[in-house]
Amino acid sequence: MIIVTGAAGFIGSRLAHTLNDLGYNDLVLVDDFTREDKTLNHQSITHTLKVDRGGFVVWLRENENQIQFIFHLGARTDTAEQNIELFDTLNLNYSKQIWNLCVEYGIALVYASSAATYGDGSHGYKDEHEVVNSLKPLNPYGGSKNDFDKWALVQERSPYFWAGLKFFNVYGPNEGHKSRMASVILHTFRQVSESGKMNLFRSHRDDIANGHQTRDFIYVKDVCDVCSYMMHGRLEIKSGLYNVGTGNARTFLDLVTGTFKSMGLKPDIEFIDTPEDIRDNYQYFTEADLTKLRKSGYTEKFTSLEDGIDDYVKNYLL
């Protein structure tokens, strides 16, 4: 059996579909399955069992001898959320429980970290373990992810294989439930479908032009390929933290212009103020350093932004 936590969410559900495509159907899906806005994400996944996340730890103790691998992708991902106790419960302590059970029962583990751990990027975007303690995330979400990375790195006992994947800006199908945390591609598609134009956050820095805020955007299908690579290579790949991005930062203006093009429309973009609740903690640049991932043996090319947008818009959103 392979376990996927967060299986009703964005990346988790896409990974489960990818595993099905690879012939893995003995899946245990873990999440809160009561949310109707996530039903479409998981209803067509071939699986053995669905387990509510609240009862997962008990279930795992009772069924550990059947489990070969755990993808722990369930987390609270709202970068505007300020409730640190909530992040401690869902992102930090829950992950510690899963880690300790993987150690106890000899189960390999891949878990979702985040590029939000890098904060303003003043320490760069290298996934070297030596810099983790110096990172200063800009919000409680990034803080919770970095806190777990720091905790994992100092444990005397670890799963025989583990990888913390620092996901950069992931976009693609199955993110419709994410509201304001969904990708700008989805927001653009929805706004343009309703009004014919797109409102994009203006820059609040003198050295960066409007729309030239830059991120490393990665298609969710590529993220799932890296996850699969980690599972298949767990006996050869060195455990640790790994960046998962394209290594090629692009502007939000590129993103929105590409979405208009895939919709067959001429761009009509207006700039609005960045909301005050995220303005001070806004990342203006991210770009994954992929040196470690490439050295581990991952050689696949990442989907270009234009091709990813085109596939997402034409084959899923339209």
Q: What is the CA radius of gyration of the chain?
A: 19
CA terminus-to-terminus distance, the chain: 35
Put the strands of the sheet holding 69-72 in their side by side order.
49-52, 27-31, 2-5, 69-72, 108-114, 162-167, 240-244
Q: Assess whether 141 carries a catalytic annotation.
A: yes
Q: Which of 178, 197, 221, 292 is catalytic?
A: 178
Tokens for 299, please give them: 């050689």
* Catalytic, out of 24, 141, 229, 242: 141
Tell me the CA distances in angstroms from 143 to 51, 77, 258, 274, one per residue in order: 28, 11, 32, 22
Strand pairing report for 250-251 and 49-52:
unpaired
Catalytic residue at 178?
yes
Catalytic residues: 141, 178
